[in-house]
Structure formats: C-alpha cells, structure tokens
Chain A
Amino acid sequence: MTWVNSIVHGIFLGGVYALLAAGLSLMFGVMRIINLAHGSLALVGAYAAYVFVEHTGLSAYAAIPPVVLGMFVVGYLLQRTMLERSLRAGVLVPLLTTFGLLVIIGNLLERIFSPDPKSLNPGVLGTTTWQITGTLSISPFEVLELGVAVLVLGVLQLYLTRTRMGRELRATSEDPDTAELVGIDSRAVYARAAAIAVGTAALAGIFFGMRSSFDPSSGPTELIYAFEAVVIGGLGSLWGTLVGGIVLGVAQTIGAQIDPQYFDLAGHLVFLVVLLVRAAIESGAIGSTRGVTA
C-alpha cells in the first residue's frame, strides 16, 4: 500500500467514524450528555444485524432498515426512561448512568453471544476491487460506506435547518428554558435527538461490523473513536464531525502504513494534539459551544 492508498482508505474509514460520531455530538450539543454507552449501542446494532442475518438468511444490507428503525425506538425509550431522570439529577449523573449502561450491554452481549468475534458479510461489494491507478485500488463497499455517511449527515443537516422539529431541536439546544416558554416540549425534543443518535450509531455499527470483526468488548473502542472524531472536528457542527472523522481515519491508516501496530496510536496522537491546541486557543470558552449549529 502506498501513501495515496492509505489516505484514500483513511477517508473511507473516516466516513464511518463520522457517522458514528454524529450521534454522540448531537446528544452532547442538545442535552449536554456525554453518552458513554454510545459505542456499545452501535455494537448492539451490529449484533442485531447478525441475529437478523442468522434468522432470515438475508444479506446484512437487508438488516439495516429493521435494525436502525428498532434502534431509533430504543434511543427514544432510553431517553424517556433513564436519561431524562439522570439529567434532572445533575451534570455528572448521566455519565454514571451511561457508564453503567456500557457495562451492562457489554456483559449481556457476552452472555448471549459468547466472547467469540463475529462479523457481517459485505457481500460481493466487499470483495470486488476497482483498480483506479497502478497503486490505488478501492472497493465499492467503501464507496458505499462513505456515500451513506455523507447522505445521512446531509439528511440530518436538512432536518435541522429545514424542518420544524429541527428548528425546535436547535432552539432547545441553545436555551431549553426559553424553548419551553415558547411552547416547545423539550422532553419530546430530547427524546427525538436520542432516537436519532442511537439510530445513526446502530447504522455505523453495522458498517463497522461489515468492515471487520466485532465482539462484546468492542463497545468502548468504538466509543473512543467516536469521541476522538467529535473533538477533532469540533463540537456541535455536523460537517465538523465529518471532517473530524476523516482526519481520524486518515491518521490511523497512515500510522498503520508506518507500522500496523501504530494504527490506534496515530489516531490518539492526532486527537491529543488537536485537543491541546483547542484548549490553548479557547481556554475558558469550552462551555460556550452549547448548541447545535446548522
């Protein structure tokens, strides 16, 4: 693999990171909740798709609609039952609650599925290669990955800017008290945001599952990638999250090019550098990134 190859593949990988990170960013931007179970919920999506494939014999792609829809509902319910109450109890409680969720999900998955790695089959799209140049080859699956990520982010963007519910979400994220005073049901807004966050996470989880294998302990790793993508790209902006995901993906693949062991490390280093630079520039202004921008 050459450098160009690495970068291109890094971009495709970044697309999925962005998709995964979007939900995390949304929940933080709207509700100020850092959902530590975000990666685990993505993993649940992958496992749900696995179960679907096993039972129906259909392709992993066919699993996407039912699983993502189901996870929308899960997100909605999660917010209305657990997270809403956690929010009322203080700023740190949601961290504890979602951490507990992370642990429970991991354990349940292990109990049900055993620790053996599983994977989803991307089918012929994954095995086909297109030779672009002498040294660069990509697969249609990767293109689909990035395409879906960009499409979903684009749809989300439209949702936020063009729809009534999107406006309500933006308003509530800027000032929940005043939002209530102009007639917005903030709890319903939060529930919708959580539904979107978990649904998109599940979608990303399925794509991860088609890329590589997964096991019950993969949740925290995916959380970290999502977190890094959000921080690199900046909080609150969807397109920023796309950029963040891509930067992370490229960093990782370039690191792996140098030495396969450096895959994770390269990503962490870039994350650290960006974090320190941001902290230096915006010292004291971290709290002013409240709100979700269109």
Chain B
Amino acid sequence: MLLEVQALEARHGLLQAVRDVSLKVAEGETLALVGANGAGKTTLLRTIAGGHRAAAGRVLFDGTDVTRSSAHKRVRMGIALVPEGRHLFPRLTVDENLRVAGGNGRKGPWSLDAVYAAFPNLEPLRRHRAGTLSGGEQQATAIGRALMTNPRLLLVDEASLGLSPVAVDGVYRSLQTVIESGATIILVEQDLRRAMKVATRISCMLEGRIVLEGTPSELTREAVVDAYFGLREAGTSQATA
C-alpha cells in the first residue's frame, strides 16, 4: 500500500469536514473521489498532503506515519497536491512557478523540459505571469508544477472546475500520460463519466464519510447517484468492493 488513511478526522473550526475516513491506495492505482460540495473531498486531500491538520487518525505513506509531518516534508517524500482553484503564484512566471517546485521533491523523469513536452501549449507562455493565463493554461501549469516534484502520489483536486470541455479534454490527456508513467493518483472530480473512464476505483463521499466504494465496472451510475445525494439512506457505509 502506497497510501493508507486510518480513521481520519478533520475540522474547519467547529465544522466536522472529514469523519472517520479510512482508505487504501496501492501503487499504480487511480482513485476517483466523487461527492457533493461540502462532502469533505478537498479537506481530505489537503489533509493527506499536509496542508490541513488532522484532528484524529493517521496518514501512512509507504509505511511511514506522516500525520504530523509538514507539507513540504511530504513533498520531499513524494506526495504532491494540485489544489482546487489551482493556486498558482500569480506574479511569478510560468517558468518560475515550475522551477520553484522543482528540486523540492525527488529525482525522477519530470524536469522542466519534460513538463513542457507534456504540455506544449505552455511553451510559448514561459515568461508570462501566471496570473494572466486562461483557466486551462493555469490548470496545465498547476499540474506541471506538482509533477516537477516527481511525486509518487499525485493528488488532483477538481481539475475541470471552471474549464471549457475542450480544456478539460486536454487536462485529462495529460493526466493519462502521468497515469501511464506509473504514478498513483487520487482525483477529485465532479464529472462522473470522466471519473469512471480514468479511475481504477471510485469512492463516493457524503458529509465527511465514504459511503460507497468500488471499481467502475462494479458501480452503476444509479448506485453512485443514490450515494451522492444520500437519498436512499441504507446506512452510512456501503462498500461494494
């Protein structure tokens, strides 16, 4: 198991965002997290990456307990997050955004050249300030920036938010390249169809809990829809794996 999350709890002030979440991701898997807004997906990803403090539970990366490790240490170990809303450094150029992340992670196939090769639309934008880019370009830069750390585990939060369908296609093509290179990915995605196409497993979250898990072939759209809205309240945990 590359990643193991055990009974994780995370809060925003008084609000419990992640409740007793446990999951396992093996190396090479692509896990898609689906769920309504406020279900806790972003908080979960941020807590795994170290950007948010866990209130209880553990995060184990390759056997090591990283629950209390700072985010930058986790990057060094091989966890990288592409945050929801991209969060590029707006006044730094595309090149600088990429370079500032490179060298912080591990050695590996991803370098400045490799990233520009994977995202050729960024090449002409190298010296442009990141704040001036379009949504799709920013998303590509954000993914590239995470890749520069050569992660073993890539966490992608809502890569398609605010993008045109064409731009989303582009993002998913690049994600496919990353998947084929053997990386492990956890992906938060609103669009169930895309999630089903690219994931090896799907987990549905509702109000901070995982309420449904399974492979795309095991889960029907109806089952996910029910879990998503929690309307067919058949208990809080319904793993069909």
Contacts and interface: CB of A to CB of B under 8 A. Distances in A.
Decide if A and B touch, CB cutoff 8 A: yes
A99 B76 CA distance: 38
Interface in B60-116: 70-72, 75-76, 80-81, 83, 87, 89-92, 96-97, 99-101, 103-105
A181 B83 contact: yes
B90 A174 contact: yes
Interface residues of A, number: 20
A145 B38 CA distance: 58
A235 to B, nearest CB: 14
Contacts of A180: 50-51, 70-72
A9 interface: no
A216 to B, nearest CB: 40
Interface string B142-179: 00011011000000000000000000000000000000
B34 interface: no
B89 A184 contact: no
B49 interface: yes
Contacts, number: 70
Contacts of B51: 177, 180-181
Contact of A167 (B76, B81, B92): B92
A183 B90 contact: no
Contacts of A153: none
A182 B100 contact: yes
A183 B76 contact: yes
A244 interface: no
Nearest to A170: B92
A293 B131 CA distance: 13
Nearest to B96: A167
B89 A174 contact: yes
B91 A184 contact: no
A178 B92 CA distance: 13
Given A167-B96, A183-B101, A184-B72, A175 B50 contact: no
A34 interface: no
Contacts of B149: 182-183
B104 A178 contact: no
Contact of B100 (A168, A177, A291): A168
Nearest to A178: B87
Nearest to B49: A181
A185 interface: yes
Contacts of B91: 170, 174, 291, 293-294
Interface of B: 49-51, 70-72, 75-76, 80-81, 83, 87, 89-92, 96-97, 99-101, 103-105, 145-146, 148-149
Given A167-B100, A171-B100, A174-B92, 8 more contacts: A170-B89, A171-B89, A174-B91, A177-B87, A180-B71, A180-B72, A181-B83, A293-B91
15 contacts: A164-B99, A167-B96, A170-B92, A171-B96, A174-B91, A174-B92, A175-B89, A180-B51, A181-B51, A181-B75, A182-B101, A182-B104, A182-B145, A184-B72, A294-B91
